[in-house]
Chains A and B, each alone.
Chain A
């Protein structure tokens, strides 16, 4: 299957700082990328959908000014958690789909801890 690489895999940051997470499709062009958040022992909750070259579509309840998503190229999307607080600590996972293909390939996830 296709490969999606997500970095970093773990990050610890101080309250009030910003953290950027990268999601790259290594061997295909991802016209659509998705960002999820997963709390321990819970399901994947979609935060936003990003299409290359256009603004992300955020799910209800997700603050777009806090979770900045950029999808500047067909192989890269970034999620920036701005002014992070301890309640933002979570597992963030991206997934990517190629145009016309419904299978979603997931990155390995980023464990964010805000102290």
Chain B
């Protein structure tokens, strides 16, 4: 069965700090890994990674995938209070596993002013 484990489960930082969120996975026939941000509403898409070693960046957020070691990291630099949210990592398997994302339990990030 596909499995995604995120760490840490929660993190408290101050504005301006840099944080690294971790995601390790076990999946049969890996297709993609996705990061989402969830505030008190639906998950918002951040990144999708399919190739190892390629960094995706969007402003202060960046992510990289290591397919050999089966993990991904999400970095947030110069954190702001608006970054406070649950960050979810998910993987999609290939083959006939259509449309199914397997999610980790999430990392709760709290950024204090």
Is chain B a partner of chain A in the same complex? no
State the B residues within 8 Å of A (CB). none
